[in-house]
A and B are shown apart, each in its own frame.
Chain A
Amino acid sequence: MEVTSTPIYIRKKSNGRISIKSGNKVERVMKATGIVLFGLTILAFMSFNYSGLDLTKAISETAYNLKTMFLEPALSHFTWGEAFYQVGITLGLAFLSTILGAVIAFFLALMAATNLSNKWISKTVRILVAFVRAVPTVLWVLIFAIAAGLGSEAAVLGMLFHSIAYLVKAFSEAFEEVDKGILEALTATGANWWHTVTHAILPSTFTYLLSWTFLRFEINFSVAVAMGAAAGAGGIGFELFMASGFYFDMREVGLITYMILILAIVLELTSTRLKSRYFPATSVK
């Protein structure tokens, strides 16, 4: 019987020695990523525009400001009632864009999921969604503000766009994970597409959809704060912008920051609990 001489792939150096390092592709890619990022960081620090910056003064001033903010919070330009009302507006903006986004995203995700839809429709929706997601939310809000006027409509529409794009991606991935057998069984009984959706897809993914939606609500809350500050959408973000940019009132900034912080932590705890209950295997995203 003939013996095969080189059954295993062995990497050798040019002088004939066996290379001990296998030259793993994973390792090479990780190393290259690290080196490129390191190089870009150095380049970034060299290219920064440092004009008008006095570092020691800035740091001591910031420390003083932070101290005033967090240790002596107080309201001066509006009352507690108004403050809660403004927080309510921010929550309202976040809620509206999340809930409308979730409903629209559900239908788009049905079109985007490869196991439920035609290949071309799925591809078109995916490309569209990737494009929408790449435009920062604030740009959407500002662009809509020209057409709809500054205010809640522009803010909700702008935030809605981004929420839809985010949720379509999450939802369609959840739909694609539905067991093929269930779909096949339903098709075999003669169920039409809509029956499959309401009786197989929806029941088996509902909890996923719910926790993704809640996660998006958490994100939308901080986005709504940002839109108030940067795009004049109102709410607590706008008050924060006024307090820091116009009144220079650090105590008020501190109080507003506390309110945002507490709400954000409550939302985060809720969503972590939802997540560990419904899908413990996945991590944050």
Chain B
Amino acid sequence: MNEKVMRNQRKWQTIIFATIIIVLTYLSSDITNFNIIHGIATLPNAFTWIVSNLFITQETLERLPKILEKLAETILMSIAATTTATVFSLFLGLMGSKTTGTSNLLGAFARFIASVARNIPVVAWALILLLSFGQNSVTGYLALFVGSLGFLTRAFIESIDEASQSAVEALRATGATYFQIVYKAVIPQCLPQMISWILFMIETNIRSATLVGILTGTGIGYSFDLYYKTLNYHAVALVTLSIVISVIMLELISNHIRKVIL
């Protein structure tokens, strides 16, 4: 193939790719009634509104203790959901991984559970659980738990597969039992990676916990919803700011831990 033909082909590929993207964009804006010009036009309004309404006043600061209490509830809920999910994910991960899995059937089972738990959005879990568990922290906790279980299992399977192949083989050659292999080779090798995933999951969960809180009426999400619906925008600003600060602080802490252990 000479250069001219190749160049031509490349050009055609680009044109086809661009056309597909443009057609899809057009179709999506048509089906969702999204008007890009209207969208851009609202942006300045939105920002003026944000600047003129979303600021914190002296009066809202009096609500701070209450908001912080709710924030603590949300953070604790996210951490508890992550750590308990970790325990179960560890077993599912060991079952699902190719290096440590004992049977194909169990492996497929573990991967199936992970896939279903992960691909049904946390919102759906929250709505389903809300019906029988009612408005309390346990509903939010369980919804986050299921989501974390799915995600962490997938992450753990990948880290176990990646890290421990040769160590497992070496230990197996010495005649070590299954639990010795897991305890002495797999866990120590994957632990840093796993902790990194757990920290990532906690960060994600705090963000999702806000969303779940709006639906299930718990934690900081509920405070946000309450102030939002009563048009108390100064308090909304305070809630948002407190979430931002806690998420950024958590990110800094976990980045620091990651830097040391990885």
Which A residues are within 8 Å of any B CB, using their own CB? 25-26, 29-30, 33-34, 37-38, 40-41, 43-45, 47-53, 57-59, 61-62, 65-66, 69, 85, 88-89, 91-93, 95-96, 99-100, 130-131, 134-139, 142-144, 146-148, 151-153, 156-157, 222, 225-226, 229-230, 234-235, 237, 240-241, 244-245, 248, 253, 256-257, 260-261, 264-265, 268, 283-285
Please measure, in the bound complex, the distance between the C-alpha atom of A131 and the C-alpha atom of B192, giving whole angstroms: 27
5 other A-B residue contacts (CB within 8 Å) besides A38-B83, A240-B127, A244-B130: A44-B80, A48-B77, A48-B136, A152-B33, A261-B120
Which B residues are within 8 Å of any A CB, using their own CB? 21, 24-25, 27-36, 38-39, 42-43, 45-46, 49-50, 54, 72-73, 76-77, 79-80, 82-84, 115-116, 118-124, 127-138, 141, 154-155, 158-159, 162, 191-192, 195, 198-200, 207-208, 210-211, 214-215, 218, 224, 228, 233, 236, 240, 243-244, 247-248, 251, 257, 260-261
Chain A residues, Cβ within 8 Å of B76: 40, 43-44, 47
Residue pairs across A and B with Cβ atoms less than 8 A apart, 9 shown, are: A47-B72, A58-B132, A69-B128, A130-B251, A136-B211, A147-B42, A240-B127, A260-B121, A283-B158
Residue of A nearest to B81 (CB): A44
Residue of B nearest to A48 (CB): B137
In the complex, how many angstroms separate the beta carbon of B198 from the nearest chain A beta carbon? 7
Checking B32, B120, B224 against A152 with a beta-carbon cut-off of 8 angstroms, the contacting residue is B32
Chain B residues, Cβ within 8 Å of A234: 32
Please measure, in the bound complex, the distance between the C-alpha atom of A256 and the C-alpha atom of B121, giving whole angstroms: 12
Checking B123, B129, B218 against A62 with a beta-carbon cut-off of 8 angstroms, the contacting residue is B129
In the complex, how many angstroms separate the beta carbon of B161 from the nearest chain A beta carbon? 10
Chain A residues, Cβ within 8 Å of B129: 62
Please measure, in the bound complex, the distance between the C-alpha atom of A91 and the C-alpha atom of B42, giving whole angstroms: 23
* Max count, chain A CB within 10 A of own CB: residue among B30, B34, B79: B34
In the complex, how many angstroms separate the beta carbon of B242 from the nearest chain A beta carbon? 11
A229–B260 CB distance below 8 A: no
Checking B30, B159, B244 against A134 with a beta-carbon cut-off of 8 angstroms, the contacting residue is B244
Please measure, in the bound complex, the distance between the C-alpha atom of A59 and the C-alpha atom of B128, giving whole angstroms: 12
Please measure, in the bound complex, the distance between the C-alpha atom of A226 and the C-alpha atom of B119, giving whole angstroms: 13
Please measure, in the bound complex, the distance between the C-alpha atom of A225 and the C-alpha atom of B212, giving whole angstroms: 13
Residue of B nearest to A265 (CB): B119
B124–A260 CB distance below 8 A: yes
B123–A229 CB distance below 8 A: yes
In the complex, how many angstroms separate the beta carbon of A162 from the nearest chain B beta carbon? 9
* Max count, chain A CB within 10 A of own CB: residue among B50, B83, B159: B83
Chain A residues, Cβ within 8 Å of B46: 143-144, 147-148, 157
B50–A138 CB distance below 8 A: no
* A92-B244 in contact given A99-B21, A240-B127 (Cβ < 8 Å): no
In the complex, how many angstroms separate the beta carbon of A71 from the nearest chain B beta carbon? 14
Checking A85, A156, A260, A285 against B120 with a beta-carbon cut-off of 8 angstroms, the contacting residue is A260
Residue of B nearest to A90 (CB): B32
* A136-B243 in contact given A37-B198, A43-B76, A153-B35 (Cβ < 8 Å): yes
In the complex, how many angstroms separate the beta carbon of B121 from the nearest chain A beta carbon? 4
Chain A residues, Cβ within 8 Å of B210: 136, 138-139
Checking A29, A135, A265 against B260 with a beta-carbon cut-off of 8 angstroms, the contacting residue is A29
A284–B119 CB distance below 8 A: no
Chain A residues, Cβ within 8 Å of B31: 85, 88-89, 92
Checking B25, B80, B115 against A265 with a beta-carbon cut-off of 8 angstroms, the contacting residue is B115
A96–B211 CB distance below 8 A: no
* A157-B120 in contact given A26-B192, A148-B46 (Cβ < 8 Å): no
In the complex, how many angstroms separate the beta carbon of B44 from the nearest chain A beta carbon? 9
Please measure, in the bound complex, the distance between the C-alpha atom of A148 and the C-alpha atom of B233, giving whole angstroms: 16
Checking B43, B122, B132, B240 against A135 with a beta-carbon cut-off of 8 angstroms, the contacting residue is B240
A148–B133 CB distance below 8 A: no
Residue of B nearest to A222 (CB): B121
Please measure, in the bound complex, the distance between the C-alpha atom of A33 and the C-alpha atom of B254, giving whole angstroms: 10
In the complex, how many angstroms separate the beta carbon of A18 from the nearest chain B beta carbon? 23
Checking B32, B45, B214, B248 against A156 with a beta-carbon cut-off of 8 angstroms, the contacting residue is B32
Please measure, in the bound complex, the distance between the C-alpha atom of A136 and the C-alpha atom of B29, giving whole angstroms: 24
Please measure, in the bound complex, the distance between the C-alpha atom of A254 and the C-alpha atom of B148, giving whole angstroms: 21
The 3 closest A-B CB pairs, nearest first, are: A92-B28, A61-B132, A44-B76
A134–B243 CB distance below 8 A: yes
Checking B24, B42, B43, B257 against A29 with a beta-carbon cut-off of 8 angstroms, the contacting residue is B257
Chain B residues, Cβ within 8 Å of A229: 123-124, 127, 215
B155–A284 CB distance below 8 A: yes
